[in-house]
Structure 1
């Protein structure tokens, strides 16, 4: 199961961690894993590359973990992370056995 955790202060998101494997289908055929991976990388690339917002990114391919923490609160990054969470929640409604979204 993929577990996504989101962090923040009040209504402002300051980071997230996505870990695990969806287990929907074998590697290379898992559409749930592909969707989560694509959304996660889009979120990271928007924050770091498109908007140049400073963050601490940690990736552990062996454990299937990617975590991003903003160096300081940023309203644009918070909105991006919030939209990412919203999409993961929508996906978790369709695949509740494969994705868990936490606050």
Structure 2
């Protein structure tokens, strides 16, 4: 199962960690893993490459995490919160469709 944990601080999403493989199908044919990987990569590219914010990204084994930098400024903060909230909604919808393969949690 894939676990997606959104890290919260005072109602603000400050990052996320994605861990594990969904187990929906064999590696290379797993549509749930492909959906998760694609969404995570899009988010990371938007934050780091498009917005130029240099979020911390760590990859180790079957785990990837992203942590937003501090002091983003009002425009970047708003953009990042919209992006990460959309990611959370997307993963929640994947959970509704594939409840045995992905779980989404919020952590303080």
TM-score, normalised by the number of residues in structure 2: 0.88
Q: How does 1:54-93 map to 2 (within 5 A)?
A: 54-60=54-60, 63-72=61-70, 74-93=77-96
1:79 shift after superposition: 1.5
Gapped runs of 5+ residues in structure 1? none
Residues 55 and 71, structure 1, Cα contact 8 Å, conserved in 2: yes
1:37-80 Cα shifts (integer Å, max 9, x gaps): 101100111111111123111011xx211100111152221211
RMSD: 1.1
Which stretches of structure 1, 4 residues or more, deviate above 6 A after TM superposition? none
Residues 6 and 13, structure 1, Cα contact 8 Å, conserved in 2: yes
Residues 12 and 75, structure 1, Cα contact 8 Å, conserved in 2: no
TM-score, normalised by the number of residues in structure 1: 0.92
Q: Relative to structure 2, which stretch is displaced further, 89-98 or 8-17? A: 8-17
